[in-house]
Amino acid sequence: MARTLLDVQLARLLYPLLIELATQRELRTYSQLIDIAQARYPDDQRIQNLIPVRMGRILWVIYDFVAERDLPRLTLIIVSATDQYPGSAMWHHDCQAEQQRCFEFDWSTVDEAFDSYGHTSEKAVTPVKRISREQAKRLMSEHYAEHRQAYPTAITSLRETIIENIMNGMATEEAFQVEAALLPRSKLADA
């Protein structure tokens, strides 16, 4: 799965929240996790702009960390509001057993390991030079004006995320494509 610097940055902020939920033996929906994060980080615009459709990619950073270390699949405690079940990419797991493993595991033993993993992951996806917000907005606007027909109208809801990805050094077209891939297929049809 494509990983952006923003995905890794957000995963580093969400990881401690998942640990708290696991310690409290609680399942939460994607929207509830966003609400918790927004309350915890009220001044972080990246968190304030979170929407449920982006959560899969962000949580995948955490999933990769625990999977590489054969730890309980921590991200499985975040579930869909519709069916109270983790995302379909996780259905190959015995989700209830994994959730129980999460609740019983001593997560304090891996806090520093995740911090190191997050730092290494950030370095791997960090561009040589970040660009200014104003320049990123200009690039985003120019690209959208020229290629508007190629994108669904719903892409406008991901504007801030696209700008952040461009600021982090992602090519403008790639920033649009990565975020457009998150939109449901039905919304792609209206383009």
Between 92 and 48, the more confident residue is 48
Distance of CA 34 to the CA centre of its chain: 10
- pTM strictly above 0.85: no
Q: What does the pLDDT read at residue 87?
A: 66
What Rg do the C-alpha atoms of the chain give, in angstroms?
17
pLDDT in tens, 145-179: 999 888 888 898 899 999 988 998 888 998 998 88
Q: What residues contact 15, with CB distance under 8 A and at least 6 apart?
A: 62, 114, 118
Q: What angle do CA 34, 124, 70 make, to 5 degrees?
A: 65
CA 116 – CA 114 distance, rounded (Å): 5
Query: Residue 79 forms beta bridges with which residues?
Result: 29
- Express each pLDDT in 47-79 by its tens digit: 999 988 889 889 999 999 998 999 999 999 998
